[in-house]
Structure 1
Amino acid sequence: MLALRLLLVISTLPLWESIQQMTKLLRFTIPSAAAAVLGLATAPAQAATVNYIGCGQDATFCTLTQLLNGGSIEVDEDGNSTIEKTFSNWKNYDFSKSPNANTLVNPEGDIQVRATGTYIPGGSGSATLNYTVVNNALLLEPPLPAGNAVSWSATVYFEFDVTSAQYVPIIEQTDELTGALVVGPTSGTTSYASFNNTTLSSDNMSMMTDTMLISPPSTTVMIGNTLDLRARRIRTPTPLVGTSQITSFSQTFTQVVIPEPGTVVGLLVVGGLGLAMKRKQQG
């Protein structure tokens, strides 16, 4: 737009002044436009703005229940009133547990979802969903068994869509189990807590972070999430009170930044001016 406005001004000036203005335009606009296209990886990250839609006035998070009832989350990663990420269409929720004596109740309303975002102009950025489980809603505490051992389990599953702006396609998804506690046997049938392919296990075979590449980069991705808990208690040879709990987990969607159409057009216009001036000088 700057290049077009300068062109309009230049067209009304005498020839010599027009040449001077074109020289200034080429000197200052081309480097800045080129920097925008090539990307300045050293530029500071911008502050993000998050909108929680359908989750109450002035909401600072959505519960999973609100999202499943039609709510959504929008992330403006650089605070310029353009939405880079939308998390919507939350669906297919399922909660199951075993055995029948398991006292854990549906945790849907006690899972809070907040979002953050970063954006490095011309470089990269990401949006993260941070899940917080309140009221010990995902805590398994089976009683000591009458016999030798008892295991309790629970599973939560849900889906949603993440839609990214065309100039920031998603290239990577990182799942992280950020808060969990497991007590249980270190061999045999163990206790564990897991989020998708991450796990915290009582046998010390844990992987708290898992990263998945998305190829080719995509602007729409359907996400399926599974939370698993298993707590095992044993009476012999020594009583052991096994437990399993998840208190928080997160998902980060990292992107590659492609120049926005306006930036590319501006660079092409300026490039055209340069060629025209060069031909004029040669003539």
Structure 2
Amino acid sequence: MMTTNKLTKTFASGSLAIGVLAGAVLTATSANAAMLTWLEWTSGTPLIEGDKKVTYVSGSIGAEAVDDVALIKMGDHYYFVYDAMNGPAMANANSGSFTYTIEVTTPDWYIVGLDLDSNVSSNYGTVTETLAEIPGLMLISTNGSPVPASGFIGIAPNDLLTVTNTLNNTGGPTEGLIDFQNSFRQAYIPNVPEPGTILGLLAVGGLGLVSRFKKQK
């Protein structure tokens, strides 16, 4: 028995069809995607879609070379997806971890929310997401459970995140992971001077007024 992927649910409920589990992404007017094989991505080619860039850093999950990775933009969400169904095994029964970065390339746009989901056999184990920039935060998808159950987990605005995904197959070789996704919600936050900068500008302005007043006297 396989659980249902949250991204698949989202797409199925809309007017577009994106077949993540089939290893192919069919784009529509409200969604765009970049896709690479695992080998291409881990060999140094980044995923680039919209103003987001996802770059492999290190690690291994025993993925097959032809497994897919994708970066999908839909509305104010970006989804990083690993999909094992394109390979001969059609599932990943291995454990391991890998690290990547997701970078925002447009000024004043930031990642402000996260969620994690996985599609696995019923007694597979866990998929975990951690971030170097937020040491105390850990998202754990157990046997395909979404994290959180609905919505997303808010974080302080970041324009670069270093993400580590860990697969832990506790069910043995008969269990497997079909795919998982990391979701990143973005927001536009115009740059505002820090309070100290504002006070400094006011102080400089005040000195200028004092100097001008003395000259007038």
TM over 0.5: yes
Residue in structure 2 matching 1:199, options 137, 142, 157: 142
> Matched residues in 2 for 1:66 and 1:212: separation?
31
Are 1:117 and 2:73 counterparts?
yes
Cα 1:133–1:169 change in 2 (3 A) is same
TM-score, normalised to structure 2, is 0.59
Matched-pair contact (CA < 8 Å) for 1:107–1:138: no
The one-character-per-residue Cα deviations of 1:87-144 (angstroms, maximum 9, x if unpaired) are 12x122134xxxxxxxxxx32414311222134xxxxx1211222112335454xxxx
Cα 1:94–1:248 change in 2 (3 A) is closer
Cα 1:259–1:133 change in 2 (3 A) is same
Give the equivalent residue in structure 2 for 1:65: 39
> Matched residues in 2 for 1:175 and 1:63: separation?
21
Residue in structure 2 matching 1:246, options 177, 185, 189: 177
Residue in structure 1 matching 2:116, options 141, 152, 175: 175
Cα 1:163–1:139 change in 2 (3 A) is closer
Q: Which runs of 5+ in 1 are unaligned?
A: 1-45, 53-60, 77-83, 96-105, 120-124, 141-153, 183-190, 201-205, 233-241, 261-283
Partner AA of 1:221 in structure 2 = L
CA radius of gyration, larger in = 1
Partner AA of 1:172 in structure 2 = G
Q: Percent identity?
A: 15
Are 1:47 and 2:30 counterparts?
yes
> Matched residues in 1 for 2:39 and 2:59: separation?
9
Deviation, 1:207, is 2.9
TM-score, normalised to structure 1, is 0.46
Give the equivalent residue in structure 1 for 2:147: 209
> Matched residues in 2 for 1:72 and 1:139: separation?
22
Supply the RMSD in Å over aligned alpha carbons. Answer: 2.6
Report the number of matched residues: 147
Are 1:256 and 2:187 counterparts?
yes
Give the equivalent residue in structure 2 for 1:94: 60
Deviation, 1:243, is 3.0
- Structure 1 or 2: more helix by fraction: 1
Cα 1:247–1:92 change in 2 (3 A) is same
Give the equivalent residue in structure 2 for 1:131: 82
> Matched residues in 2 for 1:160 and 1:94: separation?
11
> Matched residues in 2 for 1:67 and 1:139: separation?
17
Matched-pair contact (CA < 8 Å) for 1:156–1:226: yes
Deviation, 1:170, is 0.4
Cα 1:74–1:139 change in 2 (3 A) is closer
Deviation, 1:259, is 5.3
Partner AA of 1:47 in structure 2 = S
Give the equivalent residue in structure 1 for 2:10: none
Query: Could you list the runs of 4 or more consecutive aligned residues of structure 1 that deviate by over 3 angstroms after TM superposition?
Result: 46-50, 137-140
Partner AA of 1:251 in structure 2 = N
> Matched residues in 2 for 1:158 and 1:170: separation?
20
